Structure 1
């Protein structure tokens, strides 16, 4: 009886051990399957990274090594983009030695120094030009003030009603330095010429009939200054006869112009 019980226990233990062994075998299979899946996933991720050339790893590192390996080269980036990468790299580094690169750096530094020096010179030139413009502006302002004072002197002293006879000025300016009297002399000569011409006009219109002269003067409304000068060079009676035949409005304007206080 006792022997049967021991045999039965041994059978039970053997079955339990067998089940444990089967469970271990099954666990190992699952672990192996999961491991394979993880490896496949990582390989897929790596293949995607290589294909998309993230960080240039696929084109610069793997392409030269794997480009001739069948099937595996399918995961490499497209040849056109890879070639473009090579071309870019070639154009960026066109030096056969370190000395060539150092010499090129020195050349570029020299060009930079020259450009900076030129920029400094340009700044100084601009500064000098601005100073010249400022000086010229100041001179122009002073010159304008001088011209204004000179014109005022001409009007108040040379050409005013109380000024000496204009022929006396002409004689005086001919006797002094022409350079200093050029402007005044020119104006005096022009004034004398104008006065002579006005005298000739006055003689001509005085010999005409008042009605005819008045008709002509009525058409000269845009130059009443000349008309008034001509009338002032005529005798009082001849002037009155012509004004009497003129348009009343025009005659009134001429009278205002010839008024002694405004002449």
Structure 2
């Protein structure tokens, strides 16, 4: 555990620092990474020993309460802000709240601006779902030599402007294995094989939360079956609400044990008072 000051100038501790993650390059150690979406999931990830988090900026207060020592990134979606100034301002806000890095898909100029100000910047290579219109839909990347070189050149451009880390999504495993040690950029592999410095997967995928109708992506592997529990909870909820409705309609509920009674002898006093009551003013 490392003693630090966070980017809001608060004394803190972290399980991993920027320097620690950079030092993973070339090592056999792989870190786990996931995206807890609420307080229950944050606590579950902590209890499970997950190493690194990526969350929404509005979750940072919960993360710092429930996982005060975890390295946690925040960020914004591509279309969340219109101007460069807005996104840079949001990056500073995320860091003030306790983020350890900031995710952006915006231009190299924006990435360079943030990095120049000292913000550890994370971006994205391989499949970027936001840009799937440009790619002809959701698909794998780097399956040809030409496309693999395009991904490599984009990564090197990011490195040149100061990007600290990238999510590598659905890139051919051979490509990431070949390029990972040729860059100082920390890589988070999502569906891109064992070449990443950390292995990232979504909480919903890890826990098996997809419904029977949903088809998880190829990279998703369910280590649990929380979806079954969600279905069971829904069925139990429907059954309970249905029984409540029927008992109300049949005139049986509320049941006597659920009702409140007056103190002894107070009912008759109240009824006498009510019978003899006259308004004091009209």
Q: Looking at both structures, which has the greater relative contact order when contacts are Cα pairs under 8 Å and sequence separation is at least 6?
A: 2
Higher helix share: 1
Would you say same fold, with TM above 0.5? no
For the pair shown, the structure with the greater C-alpha radius of gyration is 1
